[in-house]
Amino acid sequence: MTRIGILTSGGDCAGLNAVIRAITLRAIQTYGWEVYGIHQGTHGLMRRPVDAIKLDLSFCNGNLLRQGGTVLGTTNKGDPFSYPFADGTIKDISEDLIEGYRLLKLDAVIGIGGDGSQSILRRLAQQGELKLVTIPKTIDDDLSHTEHSVGFMTAVDVATEALDRLQPTAASHDRVMILEVMGRDAGHIALAAGIAGGADIILIPEIPYSMESIARKIKSLRSGGRNFALVVVSEAVGTESGEKATITDLSGKSRYGGISQYLASRITELTGAETRFTVLGHVQRGGQPVFQDRMLASVFGVHAVDLIHQGKFDRMVAWQNRQVIDVPIQQAIDGYQAVDINGTLIKTARGLGISFGDEKI
Amino acid sequence: MTRIGILTSGGDCAGLNAVIRAITLRAIQTYGWEVYGIHQGTHGLMRRPVDAIKLDLSFCNGNLLRQGGTVLGTTNKGDPFSYPFADGTIKDISEDLIEGYRLLKLDAVIGIGGDGSQSILRRLAQQGELKLVTIPKTIDDDLSHTEHSVGFMTAVDVATEALDRLQPTAASHDRVMILEVMGRDAGHIALAAGIAGGADIILIPEIPYSMESIARKIKSLRSGGRNFALVVVSEAVGTESGEKATITDLSGKSRYGGISQYLASRITELTGAETRFTVLGHVQRGGQPVFQDRMLASVFGVHAVDLIHQGKFDRMVAWQNRQVIDVPIQQAIDGYQAVDINGTLIKTARGLGISFGDEKI
Amino acid sequence: MTRIGILTSGGDCAGLNAVIRAITLRAIQTYGWEVYGIHQGTHGLMRRPVDAIKLDLSFCNGNLLRQGGTVLGTTNKGDPFSYPFADGTIKDISEDLIEGYRLLKLDAVIGIGGDGSQSILRRLAQQGELKLVTIPKTIDDDLSHTEHSVGFMTAVDVATEALDRLQPTAASHDRVMILEVMGRDAGHIALAAGIAGGADIILIPEIPYSMESIARKIKSLRSGGRNFALVVVSEAVGTESGEKATITDLSGKSRYGGISQYLASRITELTGAETRFTVLGHVQRGGQPVFQDRMLASVFGVHAVDLIHQGKFDRMVAWQNRQVIDVPIQQAIDGYQAVDINGTLIKTARGLGISFGDEKI
Amino acid sequence: MTRIGILTSGGDCAGLNAVIRAITLRAIQTYGWEVYGIHQGTHGLMRRPVDAIKLDLSFCNGNLLRQGGTVLGTTNKGDPFSYPFADGTIKDISEDLIEGYRLLKLDAVIGIGGDGSQSILRRLAQQGELKLVTIPKTIDDDLSHTEHSVGFMTAVDVATEALDRLQPTAASHDRVMILEVMGRDAGHIALAAGIAGGADIILIPEIPYSMESIARKIKSLRSGGRNFALVVVSEAVGTESGEKATITDLSGKSRYGGISQYLASRITELTGAETRFTVLGHVQRGGQPVFQDRMLASVFGVHAVDLIHQGKFDRMVAWQNRQVIDVPIQQAIDGYQAVDINGTLIKTARGLGISFGDEKI
């Protein structure tokens, strides 16, 4: 009897449960395998007894497909190759994880994660025993070799809805509204939501901007009769001089970069416009997945199980040109999918008159 | 020919356009009056020529009912009795507004606003010439003599949806998620959304809290097997010692109180729990009104016109016990609708085990 | 140890799970009772072993509050006082249900249902042994003594959203769009959604209509420059002559009355307008409850448990004038809440120019 | 001064206004052209004076991007090459349309339509004078050479949401729920929504089915402990024997095929299950476009204008592999995009255990 494990790792997003469901349905119904859900990413493999639950078909009924987050729990803390214990020591616990895999008597693991998680899982797999297939998930959509990762499209949907809500209040009050969206390194969410939500200015880490250019755009809107403006900015964007914007927390730390606050302040300074900013935060992660994330999750889950059935390991499933494919995990990790600054979406945005803050006089 | 004016004043909210539509339809179709939409609250009456637009039936077609914000524009700046001019002088311009009313040849004005706006409009009306009927709107729902004001229910809907999105990501990561919602003085949004969105802790200005009580609640959830917690806090809530929480802006100002950041920091300190906070901000104002706000807006708009037709002025329309009524404006302003701390909703929340941070040991 | 049962009966609706959750939280956390969920309404009490499940706090975690339908299952078939068995015999099985109650060792049952279900449950309770408290639920909102029942507001929300979707397609194609909504005997959903969704004509069973009046309204819209019209009709509405509209099923039965099809055909005949109709059907029942249904459900669930704690039985909880109250069940059943044809909502609708098809020339 | 016209033709869908906006913004802002919106498809060119409106930038402000339907109006009646006049005569009026184009002094027309509309427009263009670029729109997504057409993704979103609502009510009542979705010839909506909405059975015109296979699937779900089932069927699907399912209208016509009613009746007959069906109808067309339709619309609109600028005519814009491209119109029309029965989505659906009613014993 083949036994497989599933784990979700890194930041959660919408569609993870749909992946878990698809894997479980395929593995049990088609192949008659046993499926184990490992709790909290690799942490479940570290605990003794191993923290995992056997999944069955009834687990997949009802609402699982539609539910946000991950019922298995996840973690984005603790690289097992240098794991920080509570007492301050740091230890390589990778062997413990592999022992966890062994104790569960698994024949393979499907890891659902972003580039960081996949990189760690692959390093574990390279030690020889653990067989691995991965499924790309990240709201940032920055994994290469796949058109989209699970979670991205729901995040864009949430960000677009926020712009739909901010537009009328901006127009009612003659304000410049700034929406800060997620995107640790890449501007995909900002770009897509900006186009779909009718932004006037989109700032992404791939395109350096000047405050002067932003101010000019806002003034030109005003002189053209538009009394408000919508700005979308990716959290990864820094200040004009390229430094990371920060807000100092009461406890002395910064969680959100504060770039939207910086922009609000500078725009008022340069244009006299009244500004407001909103940091959308974690509402982008949770909630019901949109239909595309559910479809992508289903496609990926089924194909990942099929790869195991075919004995093909060390592969990441991917979506390209309307088909599911699979690529070597390392290849996916080595690549990086930034916004293509010469691509159709950027050209479309510029074609609509959206400014990226980089226009020269 | 009777001529009436409409103005929206104060912070915008969902449902204002539905009010404007109802007034216009009723006044033109039933009574054959002329209707003028005054731009940007009282500002439109100050400008010369008076900044107003004649509204007709075609204006009411299509999407107006569903649209967020106010197509007339609004303002929450500039008390006409001590109006701050750009050059620093402060002047009483109330007579200019009344002149604007006269220039438009209006027989009455319907003012849609909160307590502040209604108070100013009433003071204008008391000068003798301007005939006034008001319609209550405020997402804070703190106007007295009416069960609800326009805009409140959409704001609660948005806040509840945010909790729906935060719950799965909280559970996936074992986090305490804090959502800061609007409510300048009253906790209505926090209370309603907290019950509807499954919050564990609700903090409102009407109930003083202690961090110790909050920490105890979170610890008890954890010891009971719940790995996450949802906290909703009204922006009006201060620090434990009752001071106003503030974040210093880059420009030296504070816009959002920062209470959610304060709580996040204190909760981590006291419980060790990982925390995240989201300040929902202006997305609570805009966007399509929920059906109740559209209904309430329609009820209020029709009744306000009828009051003018009956020659009843200085009245605010209101909703009580499934009926539209009207009350003297001053009476509505003098009252204040705080959360009833002995009311059904607070009892229900406590009955569900929700903490208000005021439990004694 | 007090033991209580919960059952949901009659057609399902949004908010039932929120009721079940509130009851369970209150009973266990506050009073330390045991709570049993009885499956499929009274059917669970009929089966041996009794078909019920013990509910605990973990059952209330996560998504229960937000989930549509009822996790306990329900039924709208089989009056226990004349129960139709598969073999064609009809038997009074009320004593079996009471025995089921006894076997579960229950001290009281909370029945969540409409008038039919409450009537049956009360008759059972009148036999002496079964102690009963009821909670009103019906998307039709036709139960008396409570402003609203659980499920109504979500149904209106769904119907309003359907009108929001139909309006642009009607306008794009110059069509009369007819939306048939639920409401077995009362027109509450049609009335509320019609006002909120911008309907031109609302047909409800409380107001007889003539096709001539409808045709006149549509023609007058067209002559006034409006190229489309939106009609909302309650499924309970009959043909012009007062007969029940029916569509003959392939199997010889009629499920939906077919009134929208009838209207579409007649309107085309009388006005030449192109018509389309949509029967919204069961999408009105399911899905996530809106925040008001979640709040109402929470209020009702907590109060029902408190009534049991106080030894007050034979009561239905209700919502009146911003407070939870309770009334004798029989009184609630004897009453009937039709649309008040002289009430504020009808007046508002007429004030907006909406036709009820009853205008005389 | 270059002058271009825009017309929308055929059934409306979500995203048309976003196309109109993108065209207008690009043409005016980038190239300084004049843009005319032609009313009601080719009908506007037939009327005298030509029924068109000059579009400007202010027209694009506010809500246009988000609004469903088409503000220009559309029509799916009246082939100009054999136009049916009210008096019963049929005439070729193509020359009148070209004269309308000439009267508007247009240099090119952008036609937004499905295969039928594009075919007619191309035939007009082939007469020599009218220069044409087309943009694919159809909720059916059956146009070839483009991964998606405008309108499809919103339709799937609506259909998926309907399944989300039907699932809990199906489960609460132990019912088989049948949802009939649009798709005149192709099963794309049914397939995508079926996977995303958790359907158990999907019936599409591309795959012949047997009632026996459907009955077997439902029975196997029941014997496996699942008390309900969700069926999605494309309106294009016929009866088991391949004939078109029809419902006879009161006026003797059939609008919806009635396939869902047929299935409901047959399933009850073969399995004894209680069934309900919902015909989703025109709610799939209207309403706010989802973000993907807004993005696709923006991409297509900008590129269509660029094609005119480059003097490239007789081309349809298309989306392939993350890029906008363009293809000869005739090529797009000649092709046809049915569901690929060996493609990833069908395989995924089968992999999840979804039946297409074609399984042999």
| Both tokens assigned to A43 | 């942490």
For the packed helices C291-309 and B152-173, what is the interaxial angle rounded to 10 degrees?
A: 80
- b/e map of A158-172 (b: 16 or more CB within 10 Å)? bbbbbbbbbbbbbbb
Helix (H) or strand (E) holding A7: strand A3-8
For every residue of C253-267, DSSP letters joined together read --SS--HHHHHHHHH
The alpha carbon of residue D186 is apart from the nearest alpha carbon of chain B, in Å, by: 32
Sign of the CA dihedral running D194, D195, D200, D205: positive
pLDDT at C252: 53
The alpha carbon of residue D63 is apart from the nearest alpha carbon of chain B, in Å, by: 8
pLDDT at A189: 98
* Cβ atoms A192, A334 nearer than 8 A: no
Q: What percent of chain A has pLDDT over 70?
A: 96
CA torsion angle D312 D318 D319 D321 (round to 10): -70
Phi/psi-derived region of residue C19, left when phi > 0, alpha when psi is between -120 and 50, beta in every other case = alpha
For every residue of B4-68, DSSP letters joined together read EEEEE-SS--TTHHHHHHHHHHIIIIIH--EEEEETTTTHHHHSSS--EEEE-GGGGSTTGGG--
pLDDT at A63: 87
Q: Is the pLDDT of residue C257 over 70?
A: no
For C79-95, what is the mean pLDDT? 92
> CA angle at residue A152 from A147 to A157, to 5 degrees?
125
Instruction: Give the span between the Cα atoms of A247 and A244, in whole angstroms.
Output: 10
Nearest Cα to Cα of residue B68 among B133, B113, B15:
B15
C interface test, pick of B17, B295, B324 with most C CB neighbours within 10 Å: B295
Average pLDDT for chain B: 94
Q: Which residues of chain A have pLDDT under 50?
A: 255
Under an 8 A CB cutoff, do C22 and B153 touch? Answer: no
Question: Nearest-CA residue of chain B relative to A13?
Answer: B169
D121 contact partners, CB below 8 Å, separation of at least 6:
D9, D42, D109, D111, D113, D132, D134
Which residues on chain B are in Cβ contact (under 8 Å) with C160? 291, 294
CB-closest option in D61, D299, D349 to A348: D299
* Cβ atoms C125, C101 nearer than 8 A: no
Sign of the CA dihedral running C70, C71, C75, C79: negative
Which residues on chain A are in Cβ contact (under 8 Å) with D305? 351
State which amino acid sits at residue D234.
S
pLDDT at D86: 85
3-class secondary structure, B120:
helix
Q: Is the pLDDT of residue C249 over 80?
A: no
A329 contact partners, CB below 8 Å, separation of at least 6:
A118, A122, A132, A134, A314, A315, A316
Instruction: Give the span between the Cα atoms of A321 and D325, in whole angstroms.
Output: 14
pLDDT in tens, A131-142: 999 999 999 999
Instruction: Give the span between the Cα atoms of A195 and A183, in whole angstroms.
Output: 16
Q: Tens of pLDDT along chain D (361 residues)?
A: 899 999 999 999 999 999 999 999 999 999 999 999 999 999 999 999 999 999 999 999 878 999 999 999 998 887 999 998 889 999 999 999 999 999 999 999 999 999 999 999 999 999 999 999 999 999 999 999 999 999 999 999 999 999 999 999 999 999 999 999 999 899 999 999 999 999 999 999 999 999 999 999 999 999 988 989 999 999 999 999 888 876 665 555 554 468 999 999 999 999 999 999 999 999 999 789 999 999 999 999 999 999 999 999 999 999 999 999 999 999 999 999 999 999 999 999 999 999 999 998 6
A282 touches chain B (CB under 8 A): yes
pLDDT in tens, B165-219: 999 999 999 999 999 999 989 999 999 999 999 999 999 999 999 999 999 999 9
Under an 8 A CB cutoff, do D169 and C261 touch? Answer: no
Residue tagged 């027109």 (tokens): C187
D interface test, pick of C16, C20, C250 with most D CB neighbours within 10 Å: C250
Q: Is the pLDDT of residue B129 over 70?
A: yes
B267 contact partners, CB below 8 Å, separation of at least 6:
B176, B178, B211, B214, B215, B218, B231, B273, B275
Spot the catalytic one: D12, D140, D142, D200: D140
Give me the domains of chain B, ranges plus CATH numbers: 3-151+289-320 (3.40.50.450), 154-286+341-351 (3.40.50.460)
Would you call the peptide bond into B84 cis, given omega within 30 degrees of 0 as the criterion?
A: no
pLDDT at A360: 86
Instruction: Give the span between the Cα atoms of D132 and D25, in whole angstroms.
Output: 19
pLDDT at C76: 84
Chains that touch A (3 or more CB pairs under 8 A): B, C, D
pLDDT at A269: 96
pLDDT in tens, B316-349: 999 999 999 999 999 999 999 999 999 999 999 9
Q: What is the CA radius of gyration of chain C?
A: 22
pLDDT in tens, C287-302: 899 999 999 999 999 9
C9 touches chain D (CB under 8 A): no
SS (H, E, C) chain D: CCEEEEEECCCCCCCHHHHHHHHHHHHHHHCCCEEEEECCCCHHHHCCCCCEEEECHHHHCCCHHHCCCCCCCCCCCCCHHHEECCCCCEECCHHHHHHHHHHCCCCEEEEEECHHHHHHHHHHHHCCCCCEEEEEECCCCCCCCCCCCECHHHHHHHHHHHHHHHHHHHHHHCEEEEEEECCCCCCHHHHHHHHHCCCCEEECCCCCCCHHHHHHHHHHHHHCCCCCEEEEEECCCCCCCCCCCCCCCCCCCCCCCCHHHHHHHHHHHHHCCEEEEEECHHHHCCCCCCHHHHHHHHHHHHHHHHHHHCCCCCEEEEEECCEEEEEEHHHHHHCCCCCCCCCHHHHHHHHCCCECCCCCC
A228 touches chain B (CB under 8 A): no
A252 contact partners, CB below 8 Å, separation of at least 6:
none
| Both tokens assigned to B325 | 């009524």
Residue tagged 């693991």 (tokens): A109
Instruction: Give the span between the Cα atoms of A91 and A69, in whole angstroms.
Output: 30
The alpha carbon of residue B169 is apart from the nearest alpha carbon of chain A, in Å, by: 5
Instruction: Give the span between the Cα atoms of B350 and B200, in whole angstroms.
Output: 10
Under an 8 A CB cutoff, do B262 and A250 touch? Answer: yes
* Cβ atoms A280, A182 nearer than 8 A: yes
Residue tagged 């909630």 (tokens): A287
Which residues on chain B are in Cβ contact (under 8 Å) with A250? 261-262, 265
Instruction: Give the span between the Cα atoms of D357 and D361, in whole angstroms.
Output: 11
Q: What are phi and psi of B101, to 5 degrees?
A: -60, -45
| Both tokens assigned to C332 | 């609630």
Instruction: Give the span between the Cα atoms of D304 and D298, in whole angstroms.
Output: 10
CB-closest option in C198, C226, C322 to B65: C198
pLDDT at C176: 97
pLDDT in tens, B50-80: 999 999 999 998 789 999 999 999 988 878 9
